[in-house]
Chain A
Amino acid sequence: MALIQFTNKGIYCKQGNFYIDPWHPVDYAVTTHGHADHVKWGNKNYLCHELTKPILKQRYGLEDNVQTLPYYKEIDINGVKLSLFPAGHVIGSSQIRLSYKGEICVVSGDYKVEYDGISTAFEPVKCHTFVSESTFGLPIYNWQPQEIIFDQIKSWIIDNHQKSKTSILVAYSLGKAQRLIKNLGDEYPIYVHNSIANLNEGFAEAGVELPATIRITPELKKDELQKGIVIIPPALADGRWVKSLIQPAIGVCSGWMAVRAGRRWRSADAGFALSDHADWPGLLAAIKATEAEKVFVTHGSTAVFAKYLNEIGISAEEVTTKYGSEDDDDENLIKPEQAP
Chain B
Amino acid sequence: MKRFSQLIQELELSNKTNDKIAALVSYFTEADDLDKPYVIAMFTGKKPKRPVPTALIKQWAIELSGIPEWLFAESYHSVGDLSETIALVLPPATFEIDKPLHQWINELAQLNGKDDERKRDYILNAWNGLGTQERFIFNKLISGNFRIGVSNKMLVNAIAKQSEEDSSKVMHSIMGKWTPDEITYQELIKGAHVNTDNSWPYPFCLAYALETLPENLGSTADWQAEWKWDGIRGQIVKRNGELFIWSRGEELVTDQFPELHFLKDELDDGTVLDGEILSVKDGNVQSFSMLQQRLNRKTINKSQLNDAPIGFYTYDVLEHQGNDIRQEPLANRRAILVGVIARLSTKNIVELSPVIEFETWEQLAELRLTAREINSEGIMLKKLDSIFHTGRKRGDWWKWKINPYTVDTVMIYAQKGSGRRANFYTDYTFAVRDGDKLITIAKAYSGLTDKEIKEVNAFVNKNAIEKFGPVRTVKPELVFEIAFEGIAESKRHKAGLALRFPRIARWRKDKKADEINTLDDLRQLISSANQLKSDHQA
Interface residues of A (CB under 8 A from B): 138-142, 258-261, 263-264, 267-271, 301, 304, 307-308, 311, 335-337, 340
Closest-by-CB residue of A relative to B452 is: A340
Whether the Cβ atoms of B423 and A261 lie closer than 8 Å is yes
Instruction: Kindly provide the distance from the CB of B307 to the nearest chain A CB, expressed in whole angstroms.
Output: 43
Q: What residues on A are CB-neighbors of B70 within 8 Å?
A: 307
What's the Cα separation between A263 and B70 when bound, in Å? 25
Cβ of A142 and Cβ of B71 under 8 Å apart? Answer: no
Contact of B454 among A140, A259, A268, A340 (CB under 8 A): A340
Q: Which of A140, A271, A311 contacts B75 (CB 8 A)?
A: A140
Give the complex CA separation of A271 and B419 in angstroms: 16
> Would you call B81 an interface residue if the criterion is a C-beta within 8 Å of the partner chain's C-beta atoms?
yes
Instruction: Write out, one digit per residue, whether chain B residues 47-78 have a CB within 8 A of any chain A CB (1) or not (0).
Output: 00000000000000000010110111011001
Q: Which of B12, B74, B450 contacts A304 (CB 8 A)?
A: B74
Q: Decide if A337 touches B423 in the complex (CB within 8 Å).
A: yes
User: In whole Å, how far is A310's beta carbon from the nearest beta carbon of chain B?
Assistant: 11
Note all chain B residues with C-beta closer than 8 A to A260. 12, 79, 81, 84, 419
Q: Which residues of A contact B203 (CB under 8 A)?
A: none
| B14 neighbours in A (Cβ, 8 Å) | 269
* Sample (26) of A-B pairs whose CB atoms are under 8 Å apart: A139-B71, A139-B72, A139-B88, A140-B75, A140-B85, A140-B89, A142-B88, A259-B78, A260-B419, A261-B81, A261-B420, A261-B422, A263-B13, A264-B420, A269-B13, A270-B13, A271-B13, A301-B74, A301-B78, A304-B71, A308-B71, A311-B68, A336-B422, A336-B423, A340-B450, A340-B457
Cβ contact within 8 Å between B15 and A267: yes
A140 CA to B73 CA in the complex, in Å? 11
Across the interface, which residues of B come within 8 angstroms of A304, CB to CB? 71, 74
B92 interface contact, C-beta 8 A: yes
A258 with B421: CB separation less than 8 A: no
Tell me which residues across on chain A come within 8 A of B67, comparing CB atoms.
Answer: 139
Q: Are B424 and A340 in contact (CB under 8 A)?
A: yes
Q: Is B80 an interface residue (CB 8 A)?
A: yes
Tell me whether A337 and B424 are in contact (CB under 8 A): yes
Cα of A264 to Cα of B422 in the assembled complex, Å: 11
Set of chain B residues within 8 Å of A139, measured between Cβ atoms = 65, 67, 71-72, 75, 88-89
**Complex formed: what's the CA distance from A258 to B79 in Å?**
10
B453 within 8 A of A: yes
**CB-defined contacts of B422 to chain A, threshold 8 Å:** 259, 261, 336
Bound state CA distance, A271 and B71, in angstroms?
Answer: 26
CA distance A267 to B16 in the complex (A): 10
The answer to whether A142 and B79 have CB atoms under 8 Å apart is no
Which residue of chain A is the closest to B80 with respect to CB atoms?
A261
Residues of A within 8 A of B453 (CB): 340
A337–B67 CA distance with the chains assembled, in angstroms: 26
3 shortest interchain CB distances as A-B pairs: A140-B88, A261-B422, A336-B423
Instruction: Kindly state the separation between the CA atoms of A141 and B71 in the bound complex, as whole angstroms.
Output: 13
- Closest Cβ of chain A to B118, distance in Å, is 28
Q: How far is the CA of A263 from the CA of B132 in the complex (A)?
A: 15
Which B-chain residue is minimally distant from A273 (CB atoms)? B132
Pick the contact of B13: A268, A311, A335 (CB < 8 A).
A268
Q: Point out the residues of chain A lying under 8 angstroms from B454, CB to CB.
A: 340
On whether the beta carbons of A340 and B421 are closer than 8 Å, the reply is yes
Q: How far is the CB of A180 from chain B (nearest CB, A)?
A: 20
B72 contacts across to A, CB distance below 8 A: 139
CA distance A139 to B92 in the complex (A): 12
Minimum Cβ distance to chain B for residue A146 (Å): 16
Name the residue among A139, A142, A301 with the largest chain B CB count within 10 angstroms: A139
Is B457 a contact partner of A337 (Cβ separation < 8 A)? yes
Please give me the residue from chain B that is nearest to A311 by CB atom. B68
| Chain B: minimal CB distance from A170 (Å) | 14
What is the chain A residue whose CB lies nearest that of B450? A340
On chain A, the residues within 8 Å of B92 by CB distance are 142
Tell me which residues across on chain B come within 8 A of A340, comparing CB atoms: 420-421, 424, 426, 450, 453-454, 457
In the complex, which residues 1-49 of chain B have their Cβ closer than 8 Å to any Cβ of chain A?
12-15
State whether B74 touches A138 (Cβ < 8 A): yes
Residues in B neighbouring A258, C-beta threshold 8 A: 88
Closest residue to B458 on the A side, CB-wise? Answer: A337
* Known A-B contacts A140-B88, A258-B88; A263 and B71 likewise in contact (beta carbons under 8 Å): no
Besides A264-B420, A269-B13, 9 more A-B contacts (Cβ < 8 Å) are A138-B75, A139-B72, A139-B88, A140-B89, A258-B88, A259-B84, A261-B79, A267-B15, A268-B13
A15 to B453 CA separation, bound complex (whole angstroms): 45
Smallest beta-carbon distance B499→chain A, Å: 25
Which residue of B420, B423, B450 contacts A335 across the interface (Cβ within 8 Å)? B423
Query: Do A259 and B65 touch (CB < 8 A)?
Result: no
Output the least CB separation between A22 and chain B (Å).
22
Give complex CA distance A304, B453 in Å. 24
Please name all residues of chain B whose beta carbon is closer than 8 Å to the beta carbon of A267 when the two chains form the complex: 15
**Given contacts A139-B67, A311-B68, A336-B422, is CB(A263)–CB(B12) below 8 Å?**
yes
Nearest-neighbour CB distance to chain A for B357, whole angstroms, equals: 48
The chain B residue sitting closest to A268, CB to CB, is: B13
- When C-beta atoms are compared, the residue in chain A nearest to B76 turns out to be A140
Knowing A260-B12, A340-B421, say if A140 contacts B68 (CB, 8 Å).
no
| Residues 372-428 (chain B) with a chain A CB within 8 angstroms | 419-424, 426
Say how far A263's CB is from chain B's closest CB, in angstroms. Answer: 6
- Chain A residues with Cβ below 8 Å from B423 are 261, 335-337
In the complex, residue of chain B having the shortest beta-carbon distance to the beta carbon of A325: B461
Complex formed: what's the CA distance from A73 to B18 in Å? 59
Shortest Cβ distance from A312 into B: residue: B68
CA distance A309 to B254 in the complex (A): 56
Closest to B148 in A: A260
Rounded to whole angstroms, the CA-CA distance of A216 and B89 in the bound complex is 41
Which of B78, B80, B424 contacts A138 (CB under 8 A)? Answer: B78
